[in-house]
Amino acid sequence: MYDNREAASAGGLMGYGQNTENSWEQAGTTVGRILKGAKPGELPVMQPTKFEYVINLKTAKVLGLDVPLTMQARADEVIE
């Protein structure tokens, strides 16, 4: 189990974590505010708002694991 979808896409069994693309967008927004003169200590703490759950069935098959359909139904993406 990994903390991001990219690891599952690269061959890991499962990934659950924040949406990396959204995190980079939030970071860019914060940097933009700082460059426009905002004081970093006065900016709100940004937290992830979207999490993704990805299951890689190819890896599960290689490991000899059966992933229940209920788990697959809850996943945001199932890699077959």
pLDDT at 54 over 90: yes
pTM across the whole model = 0.77
pLDDT at 20 over 90: no
Q: Mean pLDDT across the stretch 3-7?
A: 91
Q: Mean pLDDT across the stretch 31-45?
A: 95
Q: Mean pLDDT across the stretch 36-50?
A: 91
Which amino acid does the sequence have at 34? I
Query: Any idea where the domains of the chain sit in the sequence?
Result: 5-79
> What CA–CA distance (Å, rounded) separates 67 from 12?
14
Contact 34, 21 (CB under 8 A): no
Contact 5, 47 (CB under 8 A): no
Residue 62 pLDDT: 97
